[in-house]
Amino acid sequence: MDRAFWRARVIKNHLTQDPCTQTRSLSGAPCLDYSPPELAEPAAAFDVAAMRALLDGHNVAERDWLFGLMTQSKLFNPRRVGGRVFVAPDYNQSMEQQREMTMRRIEFLLERGVFEGWLTAGTAEGELRKLALQEVANIYDHSLAIKFGVHFFLWGGAIQFFGTERHHVKWLRDTENYVVKGCFAMTELGHGSNVRGIETVTTYDPRAREFIINTPCESAQKYWIGGAANHATHTVAFSQLNINGINQGVHAFIVQIRDADGNICPNIRIADCGHKIGLNGVDNGRIWFDNVRIPRENLLNSVADISPDGEYLSAIKDPDQRFAAFLAPLTAGRVNIAASAIYSAKIGLAIAIRYALSRRAFSIAPNQPEVLLLDYPSHQQRLLPLLAKTYAMSFSANHLKMIYVKRAPELNKTIHILSSAFKASFTWHNMRTLQECREACGGQGLKTENRIGHLKGEKDVQSTFEGDNNVLMQQISKTLFAEYLVARKRNKPFKGLGLEHMNGPCPVLPQQLPSTVLRSDQFQVDAFHVRERDLLNRFAEEILQRQAQGERKEHALLSSYQLAEDLGRAFSERCVLQNFVEVEENSPAGSLKDMLALLRSMYALTCMEEDASFLRYGYLSTENAAAVRKEVAKLCSELRPHALALVNSFGIPDAFLSPIAFNWVEANSWSSVQH
């Protein structure tokens, strides 16, 4: 009755326009107040700093250093909202302005030594530092990370991997210092994932000792080339190499496309790809080569070379193996994308969960306060399984980075397959997480300043660039099929890719699944092994059966796409669980280890609940599938008190989140409009 009386009085004063009430401020008593979740939530039950160290995996101090650099510079667009300072690009700027600001931020980072040693350190520690700082830049702005990622990881990586000492000496230091600005011209209008089919053609003129690179048709124009539209001075151009009428396959060449003053070079045509749904701070361009002549030395020749008189030379005689060697830089890109996708999911979850710990909706009893969003079991079910998956994938991203920076020839296949699996799985997870977080924030999730909605547009491209996710999953299954043939037809045990579990007897899953069994890491690992083993056997048998009926192997593989997708998912999720178990086993007994066990169970059981394969192929009965589902709900309620500590463990500074993660009432107040 008091609230009804107050509202009636406000309406009366408004209608009668009582001058005595015109200047009075509204009373805050009946209004919602923001209460920081730190005041109501229990203290962290585990060491948040130790958990962050596990999640980041490496270079925590360097990450914080770069966070500090960006927070303190006006170039990174600091803005005070709701009593806090946030840093984020101004997405109201035009495409041209966003591109200019991206380049200015790169120059700022260059002057402060951020890129020091990125191409010249030559150590695993140097590579880990580079990956860590790239991830921090990605938290601030995807355009910034992609812009210098193309320069260092693709252009610079191509020179490192494909070039020899003469290229390293001439180009790497100048690339690291941005004396040259590089881009990476592989994709064409007519060919993306099918790199082998690109149509750009290069021939050799032995008299001039020059290569001639040409775009023979419109579908051969280089497309989506990051940096090409405005800033790049050089590119690594991928082209078919035709020597004496024989096509030797795809090779890589250094081509200058602009002079030092930014003028486009002769016989080069460049056009803009235009406005995009995201990444408008990156100047994606299109390139045509009109019989451009380049020195013989500009062939990146670690895999193959041309003698001065035009003889083709390569130690790798098999064209398929030669082509595989040319795809090496994409592995670095996929490692990067997998890790950056998880950090984007962390941003979305940190914002959505903090908001859900302060935003209330509906009372469930008379005269009771409205309920916090995260106290609704349905809201927990929306966000907490995704939180557990993000933890699990963080540990696998770290595992991938570690084997990548310490790579040896015998690990090349493992790195290629894991980077493909994680790039696909993690980017899909990121987009699903951002969508759920956007919806969980209601209308506030639509505001660009609150980041989540905008991140969806920025990150959508990750599902298709540097390998379409669906194509990558089929490649994984194709590789597993090859491993199957070696093991079965040649009577050899499985070795590598974590497939050693195929050598022993198939695990038998219990018929009764009480909570203690469901949460057992042994049961979870066994269930994932049963699924992967069965799907690989089914996939191989279906292909072999199709071949026995006269189908070509390639057509049989394509026709078995449904099992291929199921198998690719099973492989990826088993790898993630395996890495999670290792992290948990290596942690000392205590509250942190206990929390890891909860998260691991949530990850494993959520995967089991979501994948229809467990029911489709009978790994779980309908009763056991229902038990899995109920256990996920129990885990949600158990993780709920720890939600704030778990997102705080991400280590993302407040300034890199958004207003609705904090005092969303003040951020939207009239005083904030006036200021």
Which residues are designated catalytic?
466
- Among positive and negative, which fits the CA dihedral 19, 25, 28, 31? positive
Surface-to-core class of residue 313, CB atoms within 10 Å of its CB (0-12 exposed, 13-18 middle, 19+ buried):
exposed
Element (DSSP H or E) covering residue 306 = strand 305-306
Please give the Cα distance from 361 to 469 (Å, whole number): 38
Terminal-to-terminal C-alpha distance of the chain: 36
Q: What is the DSSP secondary-structure string of 187-248?
A: -BSS-SS-GGG---EEEEETTTTEEEEE--SGGGSEEEEETTTTT-SEEEEEEEEEETTEEE
3-class SS of residue 269: strand
Contacts of 3 (CB under 8 A, 6+ apart): 30
Contacts of 517 (CB under 8 A, 6+ apart): 510, 523
Report DSSP state, residue 303: S
- Write down the residue that tokens 């596990």 correspond to: 54
Residue 3 has which token pair? 């609230």
- Nearest CA among 321, 182, 202 for reference residue 256: 182
Other Cβ atoms less than 10 A from the Cβ of 520: the count is 16
Please give the C-alpha separations between residue 402 and each of 331, 360, 391, 395, 571, in angstroms, as whole numbers: 13, 43, 17, 11, 20
Amino acid letter, 278: G
3-class SS of residue 183: strand
Strands across the sheet containing 268-272: 222-226, 284-289, 268-272
